[in-house]
Structure 1
Amino acid sequence: MKFSENWLRELVDVQADRAELAHALTMAGLEVEELTPLGDDLAGVVVAEIVAAEKHPEADRLQVCKVEAGQGEPLQIVCGAPNARVGIKVPLAMVGAKLPGDISIKAAKLRGVESSGMLCSAKELGIDADASGLLELPLDAPIGQPLADYLGLPDASFELKLTPNRPDCLGLVGLAHDVAALFGSAVKVPAQVSVPVTSEARRGIRLEAGKDAPRYLGRIIEGIDPAARTPLWLAERLRRAGLRPISAVVDVTNYVMLELGQPMHAFDNEALEGDIVVRHARAGETLKILDGSEAKLDPGFVLIADEAKGLAVAGVMGGHDSRVTDTTVDIFLESAHFAPAAIMGRARKLGLHTDASHRFERGVDPELPRRALERASELLLAIAGGKAGPVLVAENLADLPTPAAVTLRRARLQRVLGVAVADAEVARIFIALGMQVVTVAEGWQVTAPSSRFDIEREEDLVEEVARIFGYDNIPTATPAGALTLAVEPEARINELALREQLAARGYHEAVNLSFVAAELLASWSFSQNLVPLANPLSADLAVMRPSLLPGLIEALRHNRARQQERVRLFEVARVFAAGDPPLETPSLAIVACGNARAEQWGEPSRALDFHDLKGDLDALIAWGGEPQRWSVHADGLPDWLHPGRAARVARDGETVGYLGALHPQLARTLDLGADVHVLELALEPVLQRRVPQARAVPRFPLVRRDIAIDVPETAPWSQIGQVVRSTLGERLKELRLFDRYSGKGVEAGRKSLAMGLILQDASRTLTDDDADRCVREAIAALEQTCKAKLRG
């Protein structure tokens, strides 16, 4: 929100200098993001007229101008501005003047021709960024008058960084109420007038968008002068607020928006057919808008239309074909209230951000449309003439928001602020902010004006008192109270400890956005159960991530592109799947590439492989104390994993994640250029931990039996181990695989596995017969289930 300091001071008396005003606004929550002084030092700069201009004899781009500046004789000025011509009035810096930037004007010779001063652009005067040519002044500007007096300088352009809950301050009148409350003064709001109705021109209005558009006002003004120029005072206020003057009609609507905070629009009345219809857009409907682009609409948009076509995207931008042009003499002025939810995100969906959408999506006072329409009519009739028709009103009162009274307790206010604020001061603050106050026994009953959408509960009123009373006036004190320590459950690993464990294993934690591009997910073959965003920040952030890996791989690729060959990253965050509401699942993901170990002299370097990442997984599993509940399987792999170098991870037989090398085709698509190994798991199973329980040391000895079996090459160790464990039950204390062999002596397509069975019984000593029986049972189960044969 940009505005002119002089304009604000016209609306409210401020007994403070510029710096004090800026500080007070910032401390009240209306942060002054930028403060630009305008025309602070323009002594010696006057209004002048070019009365003659000839080409410079020694330079093609220079002109020798005769300038009348009220000095008796015309002055000779050499000027290189492209728009310098006879008949225009421009600023002239006289000899001896000093311009912003410590530029002193002296008499000089340019290519042999004397020049007694300088004709100035707006940038050279420090009042605008435009340096394309001389600042052209209105033709009625009085020659010789100091420019500062003529333009109402010095001034300053304030730019506020407003929070979304303060849309009322997007208009100078709303801001003036806060300033009045801060400085104990009164707001001098222009009196609301109703312009005389001198025309019977009417047009019907139909509301068909329900609660999204509950109020719409319009008025036809006939016979305006399309060549009418915007007055200097109005044009300057627009310019200092960051808006370029365009035409009388457009400038008036922009001025009213800046003054009152109500966006407005004007249509060429001759381009309209029949009634105005405020409705939702139809699926696939399009509209060519003012910037020349084609807006593709859907039923989520509110459309201003007539009986034949669309006219404007409500709350965003007007249509191209119904715009006001240089030949328009009859206009239809609109002023409406739209529900914030109906406008929110619509401009961004069209790739736009407009002053109107910025205001409507935050909330505009529903009582402003009539006042704004009358104010715009008043200004337009004064500037461009014409005959005003009656105000045309269509409204659904039941759908308009109504402010509710909120009670503020005196004791609650003092407890939250830590300081007692006098009752009279509290009442003064609320009244200065335009609120209605009724004193009750416990405090105050406050009804906010219709412009204050943010006043909903007692805490909002406490905030209003705090920021106007002044945060500097609230003493700093250490809060008192007992802290309740959270008890960490022993059956769950702390997430921070998990992060520290991964960092200790050489991984760096990454934090990625929860949004990814749909195109990136398509390359991973993620197409099911996606959660698209209705209002994405950009096309590259349009879908909630279904997996942590795409984002982590992009981070890995970013590092590899910067000569980091060995990259090891992890992330602990949530992933999202479609549902009502969408399902959020905490997950853990790891990506790694390069050498298995950092460069060193103790062992030769080798590339990271599946088993390295499997070792990291085993370390995390062992931390939970129940590794026997986990298993890995070669089946059921997703498309993005290498089919021969990957595994599905299960806990208690239920799939919880995947591990392995990326599929070569995906690696080529993502331009990774090297083997990359990944791991992704649901987080909760990893964090579950067996609570240690004290047990007596077994009295009876362990017995070990080693066996070697011949099994098909396709038989996974996870299946073999599970068969042995389920067969022997509690008698098997540990199962150790200590050898794998294939080759001579073993049939093609088969492998030999040697394992140690560690046996123990808690109630007695196992005999040789007991141990041999266990071996026979295990071998029989393996023969039946895994097509195993005992090797001699």
Structure 2
Amino acid sequence: MKVSESWLREWVNPDIDTQTVVDQLTMAGIEVDATEPVAGAFTGVVVGEIVSIEQHPDADKLRVCQVAGHPEGELVQVVCGAPNARAGLKAPFATVGAKLPGDFKIKKAKLRGVESFGMLCGQTELEAGDDDEGLWELAVDAPVGADLREYLNLDDTLIEVDITPNRGDCLSVRGLARELGVINRHPVSEVVTQPVSAQVDDTLPITIAASGACSRYLGRVIRGIDVNATSPLWMQEKLRRAGLRPIDAVVDVTNYVLLELGQPMHAFDLAKIDGGITVREASADEKLTLLDEQEIELKQGTLLIADNAKPLAMAGIMGGLESAVGKSTQDIFLESAYFNPIAIAGRARNYGLHTDSSHRFERGVDYDLARQAMERATELLLGVVGGQSGPITEQVSDSLPAANKVELRKARIVSGLSIEMDDAAVADILSRLGFVIDATTVEGWQVSVPSWRFDVSIEADLLEELARIYGYNRLPTKVPDQSMAIKSHTESRQTLSRLRHHLIARRYQEVVTYSFVDPKMGAQFEPDIDPVALQNPISADMGVMRTSLLPGLVSALRHNINRQQGRVRLFETGQKFVPGANGVAQTPTLAGLVFGPVAGENWTDSDAKVDFFDAKGDVESLLAVGGNGADFSFKADVHPALHPGQTAGVFCRDEKIGVVGAIHPALQDELDLPDGVFVFELALQSLLEAKVPAFTPLSKFPAVRRDLALVVDRTLAVDDLLSAIGQTAGEHLIDLKVFDLYMGKGIDPHRKSVALGLTFQHPSRTLNDEEINGYVDTVVNHVTEKYGAALR
């Protein structure tokens, strides 16, 4: 928001310079982004008037003007090429010898053979605005010959403030002045608004059908206005300096009240309203052409201002073109309302809009301001466009907010701010901020919150107000003194930090992606889950809550590949959001992605690419961190986003906790991914379980290894074979591993040879051959009977 310092000082004018004003506002939590002069540095520019004008004899786009306003009183010849130059126009006139911004000095000149003694200027040439379409048209009553800087008060500063969403009350000159007045203990010159007496009896019936969204609506008929009247120069200048372009008198007045008091308003052409006014929600099939000539299809639930036949405006956002005030308007209907911020928040963004009205209503407008703004706007309109006003018609619903009541304790001031404030100082600060002290007790105060402070609802908010006005820089620096017990660590659980460090040690890098994903991409990974849609998404490609962490990792992979990264290892921990019968399940999850060479570039061998078993090996190592790797197993599985032949489900004691595999070739093509992208996703809760360490005495007796080569069906999962052997090999089997797998010549094409190493060891004696042979025979007989295995 921009505001000129001169306008702000009309409300409150403490004896401080501009920089102090900026510093005080910033320290009070109203950050000043920038300051700049209203106009550039220039001298010798006066108010000029084109007395006569004629075509240049040798140039089609140039005209020769006779201009009044020279300090010596005579008419001066000026050659001008502005398209809006005409007799009677008053515009800035830079006389010979004047200096314009950029150290540009005006001299006598000849343009196509015709002498020119000065220059008629536009806003951009004086760095006083953005309008570069021609000469700066001044008011018809501007005093010819007057110094332009003095006439327009251009020795002024624009202050641009960045208002946080909780301080919507400061989106007006009144709000900023109130803050500055409190800080400096200086009185604020409030606008004195007297009720305007009704001169006609005309009214329009008002109905609030959406009472939860609109708590108060006021309307007033004004008849017989002169829509062609021009708003006064002082009003146009204040609007221009605030970044708003003057349009017409009616719009200028409503914009002026918006900037002055913070109340958005709108005026309808009364002749274009059918029946009465209804505040209601839109139906799905309704359309509305807005003031910017954009036709939109209204979404169900959008709050509207409508008449008996059609929508007139999007409530709190923008009016409709069909009911807008035009050149033929004679009567208007002026509205002022309070809309629930929740009903307006995000609505403008849903239609690709952002207006001054929606910016304020989304943050909260003073719910007691509508009547004062109506009277102020009426007073200004009658003074500019004339006409006769009717009585104010008002409708109020039960949902109108009431003043919050907050208790402030003296002890809480000491503990929260580390200072003891005098009771009178506390009462003074709160009173000057507009708070009403209802009662004072030994313990503290009972405080009523003013209608414009939506952000104050609890005791901590009042502490913040005291700290702001007292001065953050005056608060003592104190190190908190608190005894803190060391948190106990349960050995049956491991920390997330340990899992992170393990993956980092395996050359993974942690990423943090948005919990919002593209609906299309989310459906590509989890087509059977209907995700939670956001009502107010940041952008179209972040419209739903993620049901998997994999879309975010794949997007990060694409980002890296596009930046010439050929070896990528990423992991992320976070929640996924899966709707169910009991609401949305928020499941803590760990996911990872690998792509590229197995090893980084080196002088030996860097060509081997990662495969399924590399990704599976990383997962196995992760599962073993807690010492309970035996509780986990892998089984062939299917997943809509993964390759059907390279996918395994991860199980913890027969409960599926995740999946590992290669990206499906079809999805790989859709996402324009290269070959060899492997991912895994695991439920974090199971990974955090750990086995309590226990000491097992080391045997001093030798271990004995026997190797077996078993021919089994080709479709048999080796994991099932190992499980069967482990159950029957006896208690002295201390190690079991697969060291070879053969399919080919000499083997039935429907079978495979699995070579196994079985290691036996007794804790208190040496095992003899007879015992070992018995264990091996038991294993062979069991797998032969169960799986049809045969010794090779």
Normalised TM-score (structure 1): 0.95
1:79 is aligned with what amino acid?
C
Q: Which moved further from structure 2: 63-72 or 108-117? A: 108-117
Give 1:174 deviation, angstroms: 2.1
C-alpha distance in 2 between matches for 1:406 and 1:282: 40
User: Where does residue 507 of structure 1 map in the other structure?
Assistant: 508
**2:589 is the alignment partner of 1:587:** yes
Q: Alpha carbons of 1:763 and 1:529: their partners in 2 closer, same or farther (altered >3 Å)?
A: farther
- Greater Cα shift, 61-70 or 608-617: 61-70
Which of 578, 596, 599 matches 2:598?
596
Q: Which amino acid aligns with 1:422?
A: D
- Give yes or no for contact 2:600–2:606 (8 Å, CA) kept in 1: no
Match status 1:36 vs 2:32: no
Relative to structure 1, the CA distance from residue 720 to residue 667 in structure 2 (aligned partners, 3 Å threshold; closer, same or farther) is same
Aligned to 1:643: 644
| 1:484 corresponding residue in structure 2 | 485
Structure 1 residue identity aligned to 2:259:
L
Gaps in structure 2 of 5+ consecutive residues: none
- Say which SS state the counterpart of residue 655 (structure 1) adopts: strand
What residue is the counterpart of 1:290 in the other structure?
A: 291
CA pair 761-412 structure 1, distance change in 2 beyond 3 A? same
- Asked if the contact 1:526–1:546 (Cα under 8 Å) also holds between the matched residues in 2, the reply is no
Report SS of the residue matched to 2:97: coil
Conserved in 2, the CA contact under 8 Å of 1:195 and 1:378?
Answer: yes
Whether the aligned pair in 1 keeps the contact of 2:597 and 2:606 (CA below 8 Å) is no
Is residue 2:348 matched to residue 1:350?
A: no
Judging changes above 3 Å, is the alpha-carbon distance between structure 1 residues 501 and 272 closer, same or farther for their aligned structure 2 residues?
same
Q: Is residue 202 from structure 1 mapped to residue 203 from structure 2 by the alignment?
A: yes
Equivalence for 1:521: 522
Q: Does 1:652 align with 2:653?
A: yes
- Going from structure 1 to structure 2, the CA distance change for 1:729 and 1:287 (only over 3 Å counts) comes to farther
Deviation, 1:781, is 4.1
Corresponding residue for residue 115 of structure 2: 114
Would you say the 8 A contact 2:47–2:91 is kept in 1? yes
Per-residue Cα deviation, 1:160-196 (whole angstroms, up to 9, x for no partner): 1111111111122122211110111111111121112
Alpha carbons of structure 1 residues 40 and 440: separation in structure 2 relative to 1, 3 Å:
farther
2:142 counterpart residue number: 141
Q: CA deviation at 1:349?
A: 1.5
Quote the Cα distance in structure 2 between the aligned partners of 1:166 and 1:565. Answer: 48
Structure 2 counterpart of 1:606: 608
1:665 partnered with 2:666:
yes
1: CA distance between counterparts of 2:270 and 2:761? 97
Q: Which residues of 2 match residues 157-176 of structure 1 at below 5 A?
A: 157-176=158-177
Please name the residue that 1:413 is paired with: 413
Give the 3 Å change call, closer, same or farther, for CA 424–100 of structure 1 in structure 2. Answer: farther
> How far apart are 1:460 and its partner, in Å?
0.7
2-structure distance, mates of 1:289, 1:654: 57
**What does 1:281-430 correspond to in 2, within 5 Å?**
281-396=282-397, 398-430=398-430
* 3-state secondary structure, aligned to 1:29: coil
CA change 1:720–1:122 in 2 (3 A) is same
Contact 1:221–1:330, Cα closer than 8 Å, also in 2: yes
- Secondary structure of the corresponding residue to residue 254 of structure 1: helix
Q: Spell out, residue by residue over 1:357-390, the C-alpha distance to the aligned partner (whole angstroms, 9 max, x if none).
A: 1111211111111111111111111110111111
* CA RMSD of superposed structures (Å): 2.2
Once structures 1 and 2 are overlaid, which stretch shifts more, 693-702 or 426-435? 693-702
* CA contact 2:264–2:336 (8 Å) conserved in 1: yes
Deviation at 1:496, TM superposition (A): 2.8
Specify the code of the residue in structure 2 equivalent to 1:690.
K
Give the aligned residue type for 1:22. V
**TM-aligned CA deviation for residue 462 of structure 1:** 0.8
Identity %: 48
In the alignment, the residues of structure 2 paired with residue 556 and residue 179 of structure 1 have an alpha-carbon distance, to the nearest angstrom, of: 51
Residue 447 of structure 1 is matched in structure 2 by 448
Query: Secondary structure, in 3 states, of the residue corresponding to 1:660?
Result: strand
The DSSP-based 3-state class of the residue aligned with 2:43 is coil
**Which letter does structure 1 place at the counterpart of 2:607?**
S
Q: CA deviation at 1:221?
A: 0.8
Shift of 1:22: 0.7
Residue 413 of structure 1 aligns with an amino acid whose one-letter code is I
Check whether the contact 1:381–1:387 (CA below 8 A) recurs between aligned residues: yes
Deviation at 1:18, TM superposition (A): 0.9
Q: Is the 8 A contact 2:40 2:126 kept in 1?
A: no
- The AA in structure 2 aligned to 1:591 is L
Q: What is the deviation of 1:298?
A: 4.0
**Aligned equivalents of 2:623, 2:94: Cα separation in 1:** 80
The gaps in structure 1 that reach 5 residues or longer are none
Q: Which residue of 2 aligns with 1:790?
A: 790
Contact persistence 2:93–2:120 (CA under 8 A) = yes
Give the Cα–Cα distance (whole angstroms) in 2 for the partners of residues 375 and 728 of structure 1.
94
The answer for the alignment partner of 1:625 in structure 2 is: 627
Amino acid in the other structure paired with 2:561: R
In the superposition, relative to structure 1, how do residues 763 and 304 fare at CA in structure 2: closer, same or farther (>3 Å)? Answer: farther
TM-score, length-scaled by structure 2: 0.95
Q: Secondary structure at the match of 2:9?
A: helix
Worse-superposed segment, 292-301 or 155-164: 292-301
For 1:296 and 1:450, the matched residues in 2 are separated by: 35
Whether 1:616 and 2:621 are equivalent positions in the alignment is: no
Q: In structure 1, how many angstroms separate the alpha carbons of the residues matched to 2:56 and 2:771?
A: 117
1:101 alignment counterpart: 102
Task: Provide closer, same or farther for how the CA distance between residues 693 and 350 of structure 1 changes in structure 2, counting only shifts above 3 A.
Answer: same
Distance 1:726 1:376, change over 3 A: farther
Aligned length: 789
Q: Deviations over 1:583-629 (max 9, x none)?
A: 22222222222221112122362222112222222221222212221
Cα offset for 1:400? 1.3
- TM-aligned CA deviation for residue 34 of structure 1: 1.9
Alpha-carbon distance in structure 1 between the residues aligned to 2:302 and 2:780: 71
Letter in structure 1 aligned against 2:234: W
Cα distance in 1 for residues equivalent to 2:496 and 2:104 = 62
Contact 1:186 1:432 in 2 (8 A): no
**Structure 2 Cα separation of the partners of residues 654 and 688 of structure 1:** 14
Report what 2:64 is aligned to.
64
